[in-house]
Each structure stands twice: as structure tokens, then as C-alpha cells.
Structure 1
Amino acid sequence: MIYTKINQMKRYKGIMDSLDTAIDYLLNSDLTKLQPGRNEVDGDEVFVNCFNYTTIPEETAIWEGHKYYADFHVVLEGEEKIGVTDVTSLTAGEYDEAGDFIPYDGPVDNWMTLRPGDILVVFPEDAHMVKVQLNGASDVKKAVFKVRV
């Protein structure tokens, strides 16, 4: 997991090519101009999903994880908190190969607050609970980079 400010992401270059591609796009693009849904960067290696939603209470949020992709969570408008726990501390559900999605069950170890300018990068070992209210409901516009690792 990486939790930092967007302008600090250049220090994470050089780990792997797909991360470099995502970091370059992140630092050199106007993410506010992304269209809702999937936005292409480098085919299935790196792409960006753009979402608009209202945050939800913690008790209705669900865990998710991925086998093949890291996620870069970037809030463009609004605020949310995201729970993060190592997958070995949770109970895994059935893997959905088509969506690279694993549901999990269990307690939250860490909460991260995301506002514009923040970034949370979660890897396959990091289950994450997204869209959670911080100080009541918030309308959020968010870009989620999907980076094959």
C-alpha cells in the first residue's frame, strides 16, 4: 500500500513498467477531463475508471481485492474514507475472474482519508473497502487507475 500526495508519486517510479506508465499519466494528465467509465491508457496493462457516487455508511460497504491489478484511488471531488487490511487477515469469497474481483469479510485494520490531492495505491495483498462516508454523505468524483502487476 502507498498512501501519499499525488505530487509525491514520482518517487515510486522504477519499480515496474506498468506502474511507471500509470504514474506518468497521473502526473501529466488533467484527470478532471476523464469520461465516466473506462478511459484507455495502455490497453489492459493500465486504464482508468472514472466514477461519480455518494459515499455510504461503513456498515453497508463491502471489501474487495484483486489478483492481477493494483488500484490507484484518486478523489477528484468530495471526500471518502477507505478501509485497508492485508488479505491474509480476512476471509475470501469466490473469485470473479472476468472482473478480477475477490469479495472479503472481516474487520478493518486501517482507515485512509482521501480528498483531492491524495492518492491511495493498493496492491493484490491489500483488500480495500471503498466509498465510505467520512463526515456524512459526500458526492465523490473519483479516478481509479487499474495497473496490471
Structure 2
Amino acid sequence: MVIDRVKNAAVYYGLGERFQKALEWMVQADPSSMVPGEKCTIDGENIFATLFEVDTLPREESQLEGHKRYADIQYLLEGSECVGYAQNGTVPVTVPYDPQKDIGFWNGDWDTLKLEAGMFYIVWPDDLHAPRVACGAPAPVKRMVVKVKLDP
């Protein structure tokens, strides 16, 4: 897992051509031109983004998720939220991985990191993450999720 501020995005260009393209796009993107919940194509099925305007959830209503085909770059635009984190294999599966949807769910003990507007994190298949966790009382957040296809 990588966690940083968007002003440092260029540090991670070395993760590969797709990550560089995704991060460059993310930094320059105009969220006001995006429709919440709609997929925004950046490079076909290799890189795409979705804008979310949602409320955070209490920890007990949140669960860890994981992906195998895509890495997530989650960029918090407005508000603050906590993110649950655990390594794959350390907590029990609650919903088995669905290859069609590229998602599975886990639950158990996890660590929590706090994000403020202007921060992003990157997670790979071994990184289980619970986005949208309230750090206190549930509150609105605006978050962009950029999906980067991983090599087979």
C-alpha cells in the first residue's frame, strides 16, 4: 500500500506506464466535469475512473474489499475518512472473490489510516482495504477511484 499527498504523485510514476498515465490524469482531472457513479474511460479497460459522492460509514457497517485484476488509486477530494487496511490472508473471507466484478470481501481486525482531502492511496491485490470508514460521525466525502489494470 502507498499513501501520500497528491502533490507527490510524480514520485510514483516509476510504478509503470499505466500508473504514470493514471496519476498524471488524476492530478489534472476536473471532478466537476465527471458524473458521480459513471465510469470515465482514460485508456480503455486499462485505466478508468469513477467519482463518488457518498457519506462515510461506521466501522461496524464497513468491510474490507480486495481486487485481483486492478490496482485502486483512491483520491480523497473533499472531507476526511478513515481507511481500513489488512494484508490478504490475515482475516476471514465474508464474500468470495467474484472474477466478473473483480471484488471480494473480508472482515476481521484491521488497522485504520486517516485521509484528509488532497491525499490518495494505492492498493494492490494483497492489500485489503475498507474505504469510506467514518473517523467519527458519518460525514459526506468526495472521492475519485482510478482503476489500473495489472499485467497478467
Q: Into which bin does the TM-score normalised by the smaller protein fall? A: over 0.9
Q: Report the secondary structure of 2:98's partner residue.
A: coil
Q: SS of the residue aligned with 2:97?
A: coil
Alpha-carbon offset, residue 94 of structure 1:
1.3
1:78, 1:59 → 2: CA distance? 20
Give the structure with the higher percent strand: 2
**Alignment partner of 1:27: what SS?**
helix
Deviations 1:26-58 (A, max 9, x none): 122223432212111111111111111111110
**Offset of 1:144 from its aligned partner?**
0.6
Q: Which residue of 71, 96, 99 maps to 1:97?
A: 99
**Structure 1, 16-25 or 85-94: larger mean CA deviation:** 85-94
Query: SS where residue 71 of structure 1 aligns?
Result: strand
- How big is the shift at 1:133? 0.7
Runs of 4 or more consecutive aligned structure 1 residues displaced over 6 Å after TM superposition: none
**For each residue in 1:2-39, what CA deviation from the matched residue of structure 2 results, as whole angstroms up to 9, or x when unmatched?**
01000111011122121111011012222343221211
Could you say what secondary structure the match of 1:59 adopts? helix
Rounded Cα–Cα distance in structure 2 between residues aligned with 1:111 and 1:105: 13
Bigger shift: residues 22-31 or 95-104: 22-31
1:148 counterpart residue number: 149
SS at match of 2:85: strand
Aligned residues: 148
- The reply on whether 1:4 has 2:7 as its aligned counterpart is no
What's the TM-score once normalised by structure 2's chain length? 0.91
Pairs within 5 Å for 1:108-147: 108=110, 110-147=111-148
Residue 95 of structure 1 deviates from its aligned partner by 1.4
Paired with 1:121 and 1:43, the residues of 2 have a C-alpha distance of: 20
Considering only aligned residues, what root-mean-square deviation do their CA atoms show, in Å?
Answer: 1.3
- Where does structure 2 lack aligned partners over 5 or more consecutive residues? none
Unaligned runs of 5+ in 1: none
Deviation at 1:147, TM superposition (A): 0.8
Report the Cα distance in structure 1 between the residues aligned to 2:148 and 2:68, rounded to whole angstroms.
11
CA distance in 2, matches of 1:40, 1:23: 14
